[in-house]
């Protein structure tokens, strides 16, 4: 018997009191014969389970015996599902395990546990930042998401201007240590950087959340729009192959090596919102990088070079 199935069997039996082999097979997605062998193996191993034949029978834990794994409080169940939930987006095994665990929880815990599992998305591809501390506001916002309560935010925009608004928190995204809140507002869906939230005050007012919302899909729509804005201009450059990882670190998903090296150099495609943005990233490389196209990026590099020459050689 697999250990994960053993845990699932015990949790299900504790949650329901009595189960049949057929019910267990349906929940764990195994054959009835396999479920029956699992139950018999538990009994043979000394776990206090016993069969009760006849109508209304099944398998039960002797005397309502409990397992330590099932002694979760409501807060502990939420914490567990907040941690494990994001993994289900990339792992079918995690998704199956989480589904089984939800079914095994006491009914009073299930709604909050399922909400916690859907409260956070992990996006490992950063937007040019790294090693940022986790904002203290994340825990408060996660609680508001799980409990579906509106939150009053004081938010600082890019220019530092402060606004106050009442939002419906839909979920949080951990984008390589930079946290975002996806929320509903009176102007539709909005995305807030959590480290720009100056103050967050939960309310007792129920939050509105679209019934068909899938947080990962909604976030992907946001990412697609941002990436479209961030990749309006593409440039082709030649650089030594050993420097390609550095360019990938600078440009993220907007760096694509193209083909095999030619005379020790590789052709790379880079993107940014404007020609100046690309030129600013490449100016420090000097002659180590050759910009093949477009002319607009070459012109910006020429202008930057001319400015630097004028600044540092004008008085000599």
CA distances from 60 to 11, 18, 27, 29, 52 (A): 12, 5, 16, 20, 8
Same domain, 55 and 80: no
Residue with token string 């079918």: 92
Residue 213 phi, psi (nearest 5): -70, 130
Looking at the structure, do residues 151 and 200 belong to the same domain, yes or no?
A: yes
Does the N-terminal peptide bond of residue 266 adopt cis geometry, omega within 30 degrees of 0? no
Give every CB contact of residue 96 below 8 A, 6+ residues apart in sequence: 29
Query: Could you list the residue range(s) of the whole structural domain that residue 250 is in?
Result: 231-313
**Final residue of a domain: which of 228, 249, 279?**
228
Query: Exposure of 168 by Cβ count < 10 A (0-12 exposed, 13-18 middle, 19+ buried)?
Result: buried
**Per-residue pLDDT for the chain (316 aa), expressed as one digit of tens each?**
455 566 667 667 777 778 888 888 888 888 888 888 888 877 766 666 778 776 667 887 765 544 444 455 556 555 555 655 555 554 555 556 666 666 666 665 566 666 666 666 666 665 655 556 778 888 889 888 888 899 999 999 877 789 999 999 998 888 877 889 999 999 899 999 998 999 999 999 999 988 888 888 888 888 888 877 777 899 999 999 999 989 988 887 788 888 777 778 999 999 988 999 999 999 999 989 999 999 999 999 999 999 999 888 865 5
* 139 and 209 housed in the same domain: yes
Do residues 222 and 127 share a domain?
yes
Q: Which of 205, 228, 251 is the last residue of a domain?
A: 228
Which of 253, 240, 236 is CA-nearest to residue 291? Answer: 236
Q: Counting beta carbons within 10 angstroms of the beta carbon of residue 70, is it exposed (0 to 12), middle (13 to 18) or buried (19 or more)?
A: middle
User: Residues 127, 219: one domain?
Assistant: yes
* Tokens 């538990």 -> residue: 42
Residues 242 and 287 in one domain: yes
User: How many independent structural domains does the chain possess?
Assistant: 4
Q: Residue 156's domain is classified under what CATH number?
A: 2.30.30.520
Give the tokens for residue 85.
């939930």
The answer to whether residues 127 and 224 belong to one domain is yes
| Domain co-membership, 249 together with 309 | yes
Lookup: tokens for 132: 């940022």
Residues 131 and 188 in one domain: yes
At 104 the pLDDT is: 60
Q: Is the distance from CB of 31 to CB of 21 less than 8 angstroms?
A: no
Q: Are residues 76 and 152 in the same domain?
A: no
């Amino acid at each position: 018997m697999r250990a994960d199935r053993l845990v699932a069997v015990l949790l299900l039996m504790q949650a329901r009191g009595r189960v049949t082999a057929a019910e267990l097979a349906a929940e764990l997605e195994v054959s009835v014969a396999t479920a029956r062998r699992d139950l018999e193996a538990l009994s043979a191993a000394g776990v206090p389970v016993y069969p009760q034949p006849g109508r209304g029978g099944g398998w039960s834990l002797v005397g309502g015996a409990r397992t330590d794994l099932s002694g979760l409080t409501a807060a502990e169940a939420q914490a567990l599902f907040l941690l494990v939930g994001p993994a289900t987006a990339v792992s079918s095994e995690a998704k199956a395990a989480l589904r089984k665990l939800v079914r095994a929880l006491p009914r009073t815990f299930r709604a909050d546990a399922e909400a916690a599992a859907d409260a956070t998305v992990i996006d490992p591809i950063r937007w040019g930042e790294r090693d940022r501390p986790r904002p203290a506001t994340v825990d408060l916002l996660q609680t508001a998401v799980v409990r579906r309560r509106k939150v009053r935010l004081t938010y600082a925009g890019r220019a530092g201007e402060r606004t106050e608004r009442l939002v419906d928190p839909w979920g949080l995204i951990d984008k390589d240590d930079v946290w975002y809140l996806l929320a509903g507002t009176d102007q539709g869906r909005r995305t807030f950087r959590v480290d720009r939230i100056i103050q967050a005050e939960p309310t007792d007012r129920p939050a509105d959340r679209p019934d068909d919302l899938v947080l990962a899909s909604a976030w992907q729509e946001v990412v697609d729009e941002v990436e479209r804005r961030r990749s309006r201009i593409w440039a082709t450059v030649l650089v030594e192959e050993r420097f390609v990882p550095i360019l990938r670190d600078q440009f993220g998903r907007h760096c694509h090596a193209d083909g095999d090296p030619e005379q020790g150099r590789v052709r790379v495609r880079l993107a940014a919102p404007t020609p100046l943005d690309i030129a600013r990233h490449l100016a420090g490389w000097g002659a180590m990088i050759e910009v093949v196209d477009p002319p607009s990026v070459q012109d910006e590099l020429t202008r930057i070079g001319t400015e630097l020459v004028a600044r540092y050689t004008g008085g000599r």
